Amino acid sequence: MDPLTAIAAFNASYAVVKTAAQNAGEISQIFSGIGKMMTARKAIEKAAANDPEKSDLELYAAKVELDQKWQETVEMLKWTGHWTAYENFVQDRRDKEKQERVRQLREAQRKKTMYLDIAVIVAGVVGAAAVIAAFLWVISSGRS
């Protein structure tokens, strides 16, 4: 997403959040707007890091504007009583994401260990078969 488009999306989402909070709007409108704000914010931060065509001053000004509006949004959420619930929700999501990553890492480690065990067993069986074959060859060569 182009930084200017992202800034426009952020500002539009901010307006929705602000209006919904001031009019005691539905919580779904407030948090839907916050979701769009966060998506736009991430796009702007990504563009700031990767877009050499935009001037540093322009991107810095956009970041400062976004930070100020985000702080205003936090204050609105605090006044409406939703901030703590929002923080808890975000923390729960992060915890679940972390648990899922840990589960995936453990599963990958388990598979790796299993394949290593299989390789050791196969190597042992092949080695034992080679020793037996050599022993039989020595015995059969000795009879002649």
pLDDT, tens only, 44-86: 777 766 666 666 777 777 778 888 888 888 888 788 777 888 8
Domain ranges of the chain: 1-81
Taking the complete model, does pTM exceed 0.95, yes or no? no
pLDDT at 52: 63
Provide the token pair at 107: 């599963």
Residue 130 is which amino acid? A
Contacts for 70 with CB less than 8 Å, ≥ 6 apart: 37, 41
Express each pLDDT in 103-116 by its tens digit. Answer: 999 999 999 999 99
